[in-house]
Structure 1
Amino acid sequence: MTSSRPAESSGGSRASSPGLAVAAVARRLGVAPATLRTWDRRYGLGPSGRTAGSHRRYTPDDVARLLVMRRLTLEGVAPVDAARAAVEAGDAELEVATRSAPALPAVQVESDLDDEEPEEFAETFVGTLQAPEPGEESTPPPSGEPKEEPRGRARLRALPGGATGGDAPAVAGPRSATAAAPTSGRVSALVDAALAYSRTACDNLLVLGPDGDPATWWTDLVEPAWLRLSERTVLAGPGEMPEVVLATAALRALRHYTEEFERAMVEAGGPPANHPSRMRKIVLVFAAPDEVVPLSAHALAAALAAQGAMARIVTGPASTHRSVELVTMVRPTAVVLATTQNKPDLDVVHAVNESHPDLPIFVGLRADAAATDLPFGPTVQRVRSFTGLLHEVLAVIKAR
Structure 2
Amino acid sequence: MSGDIQPDSHANGHLNGSSERPAPLTVAGVAQRLGVAASTLRTWDRRYGLGPSAHVAGSHRKYSPDDVARLERMRELTLQGVAPADAARAAVAFDPAHPEASPAPSQLVRERAPVERLLVDPLSLAAAAVEPDPRRVKRMVEQEVEDRGVVRAWTGVAGPALEMLAQREKTDLPGVEPESVLRAAFLTAVRDAAVRDDAAHRRADLVLLCADESQRLQAHVVGGGLAEVGVQARVLRAEVVQDPSQVLDVVDRRRAGVLAVFGAVPGAEDLVTAASERGDVAIFLVGDAAPSLWLPHVHRVRTLSAAVEEMAAAISTHV
If the length of structure 2 is used for normalisation, what is the TM-score? 0.56
Task: Supply the AA of the counterpart residue of 1:351.
Answer: L
Give the conservation status (yes or no) of the 8 Å contact 2:275–2:283: no
> Which structure features the higher share of strand residues?
1
Look up the equivalent residue of 2:271 and give its one-letter code: A
Using the TM superposition, give the Cα deviation of residue 234 of structure 1 relative to its aligned residue in structure 2, in angstroms: 1.0
- Which structure has the highest helix share of the two? 2
**CA RMSD across the alignment:** 2.5
Greater gyration radius: 1
CA contact (8 A) 1:177 1:207 kept: no
CA offsets per residue over residues 38-96 of structure 1, 9 Å max, x none? xxxxxxxxxxxxxxxxxxxxxxxxxxxxxxxxxxxxxxxxxxxxxxxxxxxxxxxxxxx
Q: Which of 165, 169, 189 is 2:124 aligned to?
A: 189
**1:119-145, Cα deviation, whole Å (9 max, x unpaired):** xxxxxxxxxxxxxxxxxxxxxxxxxxx
Q: In structure 2, how many angstroms separate the alpha carbons of the residues matched to 1:332 and 1:260?
A: 21
Q: Distance in 2 between matches of 1:335 and 1:186?
A: 33
Name 1:215's counterpart in structure 2: 151
Q: CA separation of 1:262/1:324 partners in 2, compared to 1, >3 Å: closer, same or farther? A: closer
Q: Any idea what SS the aligned residue of 1:361 has?
A: strand
Question: C-alpha displacement at 1:244, in angstroms?
Answer: 0.9
Does the 8 Å CA contact 1:284/1:312 hold for their aligned counterparts?
yes
Q: Return closer, same or farther for 1:392/1:296 CA change in 2, 3 Å cut-off.
A: same
The CA distance in 2 between the partners of 1:177 and 1:388, in whole Å, is 33
In 1, the alpha carbon distance for the partners of 2:270 and 2:310 equals: 20
Which amino acid counterpart does residue 239 of structure 1 have in structure 2?
A: G
Rate the CA distance shift 1:394–1:188 in 2: closer, same or farther, 3 A.
same
Q: For residues 62-77 of structure 1, what are the structure 2 equivalents within 5 Å?
A: none
Structure 1: give runs of 5+ residues left out of the alignment: 1-175, 266-270
Are residue 336 (structure 1) and residue 260 (structure 2) matched?
yes
Task: Provide the residue aligned with 1:381 in structure 2.
Answer: 299
Percent identical among aligned pairs is: 24
1:114-129 matches, within 5 Å, as none
1:190/1:380 CA distance change after superposition, 3 Å? same
Partner of 1:99: none
Map 1:186-335 → 2, pairs under 5 A: 186-208=121-143, 212-263=148-199, 265=200, 273=202, 278-279=203-204, 281-288=205-212, 290-291=213-214, 294-318=216-240, 319-321=242-244, 322-335=246-259
Contact residue 297 and residue 338 of structure 1 kept, 8 A: yes
The amino acid across from 1:388 in the alignment is A
Unpaired stretches in structure 2, ≥5 consecutive residues? 1-114
Distance change (3 Å), C-alpha of 1:387 and 1:336 = same
Q: Using structure 1 for the length normalisation, give the TM-score.
A: 0.45
State how far apart, in whole Å, the 2-side matches of 1:178 and 1:324 are. Answer: 45
Aligned residue pairs, count: 199
Q: What is the correspondence of 1:128-143 to structure 2 with a 5 Å cutoff? A: none
Q: Which amino acid aligns with 2:165?
A: L
